[in-house]
Structure formats: C-alpha cells, structure tokens
Structure 1
Amino acid sequence: MTGGVDQNILGKGVSFPFNVGRDGRIGWSAGETNIRQSIEIILKTDLGERVQLASFGAGLTPLLFDPNTASTHARVADRIHRSLKAWEPRIKLEEVDVREHRSQKETAVATISYRLSATGQTERIALDIPLQSDAAGGV
C-alpha cells in the first residue's frame, strides 16, 4: 500500500516502457504509476497504429507540422480529452491545458490534471508535444 491506498484497486499491468528485470521476468507497474504509464501510452499512440483497435490512441503525430498557436493547442487539448475519456476509465479528467513551452518555441506542453476514480486523489502529468515554431506551419 502506498499512502494508505491498496494499489490493486488502481490496476496493474506490464510496465512502460517494456522491460525485463534482473530475474528475467517481465517488469510490471501498479497503482498510480500504472495509470500514468497508461496515459502516456494512450497519448503517444496514433489512431490506426494498433491492429484490431484502430480507434485507440490520441492521434497527436499528424499535428507535428502544425504551428505552435492557440488554435493548434485547442486541437491538441481536444484530442487528449477525447482519447483519455475513451480509453482510461480509472481517471476523471479535471483539466487539459496546452501552452507553448517557455524556452522551446517548437514545443507545446500539455498539462493534464485528473482525479483517480477509485480514491479521489488528484494527480497531474505533463507531456511535451513537438510542433512547428513558425506561425506558417511549414517545413
């Protein structure tokens, strides 16, 4: 138990990134760590990438060449919101905030605030999203 919470109620799965321990067994993650890893997997998976599960993922890669503007940030936030609502039932989204990275003009930062459904505990994760730095959005 971590922080008085039985980690089994939050779930368990193969760790991400995949790894093999010193004992030769597959690495596992549980609890809050497993949920964070699940969110990362969902957001880093493109639509159509998973065989037999074409609608899984957020589909953020096609936005790679879009300009780092408020309009693109809104589209990124919408894709994140829709994908997490569809694929991660262990959380309740509270906010998805996407903004230009302070020092990297070709990167946006998505900050996702959520509540664990099983415990009510509030969590936050941030993900860098590569975008074009120029407003024209070209190469």
Structure 2
Amino acid sequence: MTSLVDNGFLGTGWAFPVGCDPEQGISLTGGGAAAIRQSIWLILGTAPGERVMRPDFGCGIHDVVFDVNDTSTAGRVSRSVRDALTRWEPRIDVLDIYAAPDPDDRHRLLIEINYRVRSNNSRFNLVYPFYVA
C-alpha cells in the first residue's frame, strides 16, 4: 500500500502556509498523509464566507469564538468539525472527534480528530488548538 502514497495518489498541492522553494518556486506538500493533515488544518482554520470564490468552504467553529469555554461549546465545536471534514475532505473517514477545554489555558479548546485515510486504511490523529475569548 505504500506505493499509493509514494506515487501521489493522495494528492499534492501548495504547502500551508504558502512559502517559496528555491528549486521549484512555490513550496509543495510532500503528498500523502502530510497533504491531508494540511488540508484538515486549512478547513478548520477557514471560516465560512472567508474565501471569495468559495464562500461555503470552511468550518463553523469560528461562530463560537466569543462563547464560554465549556462542554456545551465543545459539543457544538465537535459537530461543526465533523460536518466540515465530512463535506470538504473526501480522502478520510472521521472516526472520532473529542473537544474539551484545555486545563492549562482557560481560553483554549483542544480538538482531537481521529481519522482514517480511505485509500490505505492508515489511522491518524491530530490535535487542533482553538482559542475562545
């Protein structure tokens, strides 16, 4: 199955954040799992309405930025993340999403995403810190 990752089956694209590569011009992702991870960060970091030509792209977690950092907010965030990833990242199956207030920082909500890459059944997890006021 590693040949699927090596030949770019999972896709490549511009690296995020966008940068310059002295050999190729624009920095590109390595493809595979790295490209998917960057895509997830992009989806979660983009609020709907932020992209000019794609106003529905993104995740609704930005609607709760001024809410109280509690379990109710964590539940809303978990739902928004699941909906956004299901819609915008077709290369993965979302297995579980856990959102909980960070015990070390009362303004941070930690979102743990467990997912499986559909093409090779590899499992990954990612923790996305989301800050509330």
Please give the range of the TM-score, normalised by the shorter of the 2 chains.
over 0.9
Residue 87 of structure 1: aligned partner? 88
Q: Distance in 1 between the 2:16 and 2:3 partners?
A: 22
Q: Distance in 1 between the 2:97 and 2:111 partners?
A: 7
Query: Unaligned 5+ residue runs, structure 2?
Result: none
For residues 78-130 of structure 1, give each alpha carbon's deviation from its aligned partner in whole angstroms, at most 9, with x where no partner exists: 11000000000000000010011120011110000000000000000111111
Displacement after TM superposition at 1:24 (Å)? 5.6
Displacement after TM superposition at 1:71 (Å)? 0.5
Q: Distance in 2 between the 1:23 and 1:129 partners?
A: 35
Q: Distance in 2 between the 1:26 and 1:131 partners?
A: 33
1:6 is aligned to 2:4: yes
**RMSD, aligned α-carbons:** 1.3
Q: Distance in 1 between the 2:63 and 2:87 partners?
A: 20
Equivalent position amino acid for 2:34 in 1: T
Residue 40 of structure 2: aligned partner? 39
Identity %: 29
Displacement after TM superposition at 1:9 (Å)? 1.5
Q: TM-score w.r.t. structure 2 length? A: 0.92
Residue 71 of structure 1: aligned partner? 72
Displacement after TM superposition at 1:52 (Å)? 2.3
Residue 136 of structure 1: aligned partner? none
Equivalent position amino acid for 1:10 in 2: L
Residue 102 of structure 2: aligned partner? 101
Secondary structure class of the residue paired with 1:95: strand
| 24-33 or 104-113: bigger deviation | 24-33
Displacement after TM superposition at 1:66 (Å)? 0.5
| 95-104 or 6-15: bigger deviation | 6-15
Q: Distance in 1 between the 2:22 and 2:11 partners?
A: 23
Query: Unaligned 5+ residue runs, structure 1?
Result: 133-139
Residue 129 of structure 2: aligned partner? 128
How many aligned residue pairs are there? 130
Equivalent position amino acid for 1:47 in 2: P
Q: TM-score w.r.t. structure 1 length? A: 0.88
Equivalent position amino acid for 1:6 in 2: L
Structure 1 outlier segments of 4+, above 6 Å: none
Displacement after TM superposition at 1:51 (Å)? 1.3
